[in-house]
Amino acid sequence: MDIIDPKQAVIDLDGWSGGDDFITKIFTFKDFARAFGFMSEIAVVAEAMNHHPQWYNVYNRVDVTLTTHDAGGVTQKDIDMAKRMNSAA
């Protein structure tokens, strides 16, 4: 799997920023139920893709970090997951 430069990867991803070997975004929702609903929807997508996000939730906020650990950086899997997350949000 080819590594993608995280800074380049986020150019077309609304709200995402790139780190050394990851991309990240903070999603904010109206309330906890909507944040949890988003996480539940993405959990099903993540299982189907066999690509699971690192995330953290407090009340209406979901902080997400994506990287492909076995590749050692950002890959197309991360880009695809970020696009699905943006659509779901």
Question: For residue range 14-44, what is the model confidence (pLDDT) as tens digits?
Answer: 999 999 999 999 999 999 999 999 999 999 9
In the predicted model, is pLDDT for residue 75 greater than 80? yes
38 occurs within a structural domain: yes
What residue numbers bound the domain in which 23 lies? 6-88
Assigned domain for 1 exists: no
Q: Is residue 36 part of a domain?
A: yes
Count of residues for the chain? 89
pTM for the model stands at: 0.95
Torsion, Cα of 27, 36, 77, 25 (10° steps): 10
| Predicted local distance difference test score (pLDDT) of residue 1 | 77
10: tokens are 């986020």
Residue appearing with tokens 């997350």: 85
Whether the pLDDT of residue 84 is over 80: the answer is yes
Please report the pLDDT score of residue 15 as a whole number.
98
**Domain total of the chain:** 1
pLDDT bin (cut points 50, 70, 90) of residue 13 is very high
Q: What is the pLDDT of residue 36?
A: 98
Is there a domain that residue 63 lies in? yes
Chain center to CA of 38: 12
Q: What's the mean per-residue pLDDT of the chain? A: 96
Residue 45 sits in a domain whose CATH number is 3.30.1360.20
How many of the other CB atoms lie within 10 Å of CB of 3?
A: 13
Tokens 């949890």 correspond to: 36
